[in-house]
Structure 1
Amino acid sequence: MNSSIIRFVLGYVLKVEAVLMLLPCIVAVLYQERTGFAYLLVAAIAMTLGTLMTIRRPKNHVFYLKEGCVATALSWIFLSFFGALPFWISGEIPSLVDALFETVSGFTTTGSSILSDVEALSHCALFWRSFTHWIGGMGVLVFLLAVIPLSGGSHINLMRAESPGPSVGKLVPKIKYTAQILYVIYLGMTVVEIILLLISRMPVFDAITLSFGTAGTGGFGIKGDSIASYTALQQWIITIFMILFGVNFNAYYLILFRKFKKALQMEEVKAYFGIIFVSTAIITGSLVMGNMQFADALRHAAFQVGSIITTTGYATINFDAWSQTCRTILVLLMFVGACAGSTGGGMKVSRFIVMVKTMTKELNSYIHPKSVKKIKMDGKPIEHEVVRSINVYLITFMIIFVVSVFAISFEGHDLVTNFTAVAATINNIGPGLSMVGPDCNFGFFSDFSKLVIIFDMLAGRLELFPLLILFHPAIWKELFTQKITMRKKLKF
């Protein structure tokens, strides 16, 4: 285990967070808010610790998937803990567990909240709250790979450990350039959304914070009614960009370099848009039958389908009051999620495509036992290892899901609340149904249940295994053995 490179990465994460935390300080100055001192204090602490951790550069820069997973999981824990401190120190969120819940929800782009009155927060806190979505959307380690001078040929393991989806690869030969391309696309789309919202006459602060939430597919609103009080045009703009940020960024890379045919032939993207179209059509029809005007029904249906499948979590209406059919569709979309390689959460469309193709292959093998057919995606055969990893992911997901629902069930809340609370957080969506619906929050849960949900949010964002590996005894045994060996060498 290369512990020195893990320490080095964690140090850089703290330094990057310290720099990013200066932005809410600027917001505090603009709005003359004293809460900015809390962010400045935490930024100073994070920068000091980060500097101490990176003064001594590691001799060995090469690390494998094991180190990549540990570094990723610890980075997100460090990031969340220090990101929560300003909320707690400023007193805007008095409970440290609540502050951690809110911050983890932000960085993991979940959007679930413990706040009953979000509008009572300072502009500084609202900005940081939304900005955590933007930071976590593409991933802080992807950002590090784009800007810091890490060398060695195995750094794709960091990207694989942090990026959502069953498989992650390079867009270009060097991983640093891949990370830079991803962030250029990410930043460019965010800026375009901000500009369009400003043209629609949305206030500057609102346009920036809501675009951060849309880009990261997060869902923290700055108003108590989420997006309901904004104009129809502004809601449509947000709808379109939520859906666009749920598309596999490989498609944007192909479009950027004028490979339009390949982009249009991506099976996952076609399936993604097909699911959105069918779901929107069914919900629109149901709402129209419930005496809602067609234009309003289409807008609300498209918005909520886009919000749920991309795991953004914004809301224009209390969809918990919709028909059973509509709510069932939305719950199913929670599990489907967006495309792999996007900023969206969930189990990912590509996994479902592979699982359906695997099921079809097994059925055909019963009819034609001697036939040998490869499962293909975009015309390319899928390796057995990928299919196996998807099956393992599904089993692990279900185990964590069941255990989490059981763990929070002791508080006595109804099954719909518990089921959708876990579904909404492990899939990084935000609102669920019943007591955690779009008009409610998660503040009523006990600290124990909140910690369970915090684990679910982190596990969902990191695709389960990078976080689970921290609980493997072999990892800590190896680190402990290394420390003892180093101490013995120092004595001699």
Structure 2
Amino acid sequence: MGLNTRIIVHIMGLLLLCNGSFMLLAAFVSGIYKDGATLDITLAAIVTMLFGVMAMFYTRGHKKEVKRKEGYIVVTFGWIIMSMSGTLPYIFSGAIPNITDAFFETISGYTTTGASILDDIEALPAGILFWRSLTHWIGGMGIIVLAIAILPLLGIGGMQLFAAEAPGPVGDKLHPRITDTAKRLWLIYFGYTVAETILLKLAGMSLFDAMNHSLATLSTGGFSTKNASLAYWNNQPLIQYITILFMFLAGSNFVLSYFAFTGKVQRILKDEEFKYYSIFIVLFTLTAFLVVYLRADVAVSNFHPMVWGEAESAFRHTLFQVVAIVTTTGFVTADFTSWTPFLTVFFFGLMFLGGSAGSTAGGIKVMRHLLIIKNGLLEFKRTLHTNAVIPVRYNEKTVTEHIVYNIIAFFVLYMLLFIIGSLVLGFLGLDFVSAIGGSASSLGNVGPALGSLNPVSNYNGLPNLGKWWCGFLMLLGRLELFTVLIILTPYFWKKT
């Protein structure tokens, strides 16, 4: 049977229609602040929606069935189409006139990476800044639905493990009741965003800054309205603690939030991934804090040097950076690469951890690390007891060999892509530290990297080909590798 191309094009049209609607929201914000970009953003919205309506109109007689092949194509090309149309507000307004730069900024937004090519963020019109933050929020909202409702059905990267925990259906096809799952999770996502906006406003941010940073936090994106990122508020600890809390929530499985709001607290306490996710953050924070606090020659912030003797300041900065990197949010309160060589390597390692499965975080994910470690330890037992059947267990349930192999394959592919990504960036002229940092950060959707791409710098210095390459790595990482890579294989396109 061939591909149902009409349903693919129809869904693409729907995505463009949604994207254009969000652009109108950005145009509305632009109009409120009278920043001069209102007509440009509105025009971008109209063009985007026009293409969307045309695509939906010409495919209105489609068969309403999405199978696995169509699912892979919709997910991958959906993100690409969104990113391509999302460049229009930047290009039409002249905020980022270069197509390469505009696409990099946009795909960095939708993949919630947060890497930027902008040198002066604060010079942008309010409507463009809001659109920039919205790309994060749209991408984060989309990835929740992917992770909870769609990827398990496609058998992607071991995502089947928590599929049974999701408040929705699991089956061989994309079920209409997936919309029920999406509605519940979007409501939580939206609720968290509103709650953080209110709290940040009460803590001293302007309403505009609070909205933008909430959109970026819940999506684990990292775009800020300030050149100094969250370091702009280094003298207002409450703002940073609120951001830490919501970064932590965004990096945890959103299904657990659903359980919390429905009174199933025991399900959260028994969840292995959440337990280790929390333990890792505590241990990593204490490690970094001790190094920072005991080294009196370390400046915790390049913007507001901390007063030594104030343990709270050292603790806050280390906690913030650990949570920002682990959850792949990428907000910055300090340049951790300037602390000590040990901490530079330490934070580089954290880029490979990732948050929880079913969260908006990028990276490998805590769940996969746990299962790889468990399987590795069980190999010792299997070596001694060759005839024994010793399965991997997760959340007191047996994990099938298929899922274990899937996760091992994911990990091997991830590390291979990191190496290839580093080699390409090195070939394009980046030094060793910048190349490995840029590759790890792009693939993990982290944002800040090492070397010339450090937390207080940006990606503007990359050659054009390097920007496109990093954008590709961002897409790979955001869509769990297999989703994109399988489309690049010849047998995917063979008729079955």
TM-score (norm 2): 0.91
Amino acid across the alignment from 2:426: S
Residue number in structure 1 paired with 2:56: 54
Residue number in structure 2 paired with 1:243: 248
| Aligned match for 2:36, one of 34, 43, 62 | 34
Residue number in structure 2 paired with 1:432: 449
CA distance in 1 between counterparts of 2:52 and 2:449 reads 37
Cα offset, 1:158, TM superposition: 6.4
Residue number in structure 2 paired with 1:485: none
Q: Does 1:283 align with 2:288?
A: yes
Q: Does 1:355 align with 2:359?
A: no
The answer as to whether partners of 2:114 and 2:330 remain within 8 angstroms in 1 is yes
- Alpha-carbon RMSD across the aligned residues, in angstroms, is 2.0
CA distance in 2 between counterparts of 1:411 and 1:180 reads 44
Cα offset, 1:270, TM superposition: 0.3
Residue number in structure 1 paired with 2:159: 166
Q: Does 1:460 align with 2:477?
A: yes
Residue number in structure 1 paired with 2:67: 64
SS in 2 for 1:336: coil
Alpha-carbon deviations, 1:83-113, whole Å to 9, x = none?
0122122211121000000000001000001
SS in 1 for 2:115: coil
CA distance in 1 between counterparts of 2:269 and 2:470 reads 38
CA distance in 1 between counterparts of 2:401 and 2:38 reads 52
Q: Does 1:399 align with 2:416?
A: yes
Give the alignment of 1:109-188 within 5 angstroms.
109-139=112-142, 142=145, 156-157=149-150, 166-167=159-160, 169=163, 170-173=166-169, 174-188=177-191
Residue number in structure 1 paired with 2:438: 421
Identity %: 36
Alpha-carbon deviations, 1:15-63, whole Å to 9, x = none?
0001111111011111112222222112111211111211233442222
Q: Does 1:377 align with 2:377?
A: no
Cα offset, 1:367, TM superposition: 1.9
CA distance in 1 between counterparts of 2:155 and 2:226 reads 31
The answer as to whether partners of 2:152 and 2:158 remain within 8 angstroms in 1 is no
CA shift in 2, pair 1:196/1:156, >3 Å:
closer
CA distance in 2 between counterparts of 1:159 and 1:54 reads 27
SS in 1 for 2:220: coil
Amino acid across the alignment from 1:62: E
Residue number in structure 2 paired with 1:191: 194
Give the alignment of 1:99-118 within 5 angstroms.
99-118=102-121
CA shift in 2, pair 1:38/1:417, >3 Å:
same
Amino acid across the alignment from 1:33: D
CA distance in 2 between counterparts of 1:58 and 1:75 reads 20
TM-score (norm 1): 0.91
CA distance in 1 between counterparts of 2:117 and 2:290 reads 34
The answer as to whether partners of 2:144 and 2:358 remain within 8 angstroms in 1 is no
Alpha-carbon deviations, 1:395-420, whole Å to 9, x = none?
22122222211111123322110001
Q: Does 1:334 align with 2:351?
A: yes
Residue number in structure 1 paired with 2:427: 410
Residue number in structure 2 paired with 1:90: 93
The answer as to whether partners of 1:137 and 1:216 remain within 8 angstroms in 2 is yes
CA distance in 2 between counterparts of 1:164 and 1:213 reads 25
CA shift in 2, pair 1:279/1:127, >3 Å:
same
Q: Does 1:302 align with 2:319?
A: yes
Amino acid across the alignment from 1:99: A
CA distance in 2 between counterparts of 1:297 and 1:33 reads 38
The answer as to whether partners of 2:7 and 2:64 remain within 8 angstroms in 1 is yes
Q: How many residues get paired?
A: 469
Q: Does 1:20 align with 2:22?
A: yes
CA shift in 2, pair 1:240/1:160, >3 Å:
farther
SS in 2 for 1:376: strand
Cα offset, 1:142, TM superposition: 3.3
Alpha-carbon deviations, 1:86-143, whole Å to 9, x = none?
2122211121000000000001000001111111111111111111111111217939
